[in-house]
Amino acid sequence: MKRVKAACIMQTLVFAQKPEMGYSKERALNINRDELEHYKETLEKSRTRYQIVDSTEQEDGSIVVHVRKAYNAKADVEEYFI
C-alpha cells in the first residue's frame, strides 16, 4: 500500500493584460503588479503555505511568477520550503 506523505505544487503563473486593451507597458506592468499583490493576499487569507521562487517582469509588461504551494495543509511539507 502506498500513500502520499507530503506534496507540493509548482506553478508558473503569467500575469498579463490582453493586447487589445491598448495599455502602455508601464500601465500594464502596474496593473499586473497589483494583480500579483492581490494573488498573494488571497493566499495569505486562505492560509495557504507558499513560496515565490522567482518573479520576472517581461518586456511586454507581463510578470512571470514561479510559485511553490503546499498541496495539503495537514501534511508536513517543511522539506519543500527551505
Residue 67 lies in a domain: yes
Question: What is the pLDDT at residue 81?
Answer: 73
Question: What is the pLDDT at residue 40?
Answer: 96
Q: Structurally, how many domains does the chain consist of?
A: 1
Long-range contacts of 41-46 (CB under 8 A, 24+ apart): 43/69
Residue 80 lies in a domain: no
Residue 39 lies in a domain: yes
Confidence class for position 2, pLDDT limits 50, 70, 90? confident
Residue 68 lies in a domain: yes
Closest CA to 80 of 3, 5, 2: 5
- pLDDT tens readout for residues 17-64: 988 888 888 999 999 999 999 999 999 999 888 999 999 999 889 999
Domain that holds residue 43: 8-75
Residue 35 lies in a domain: yes
pTM of the entire predicted model: 0.81
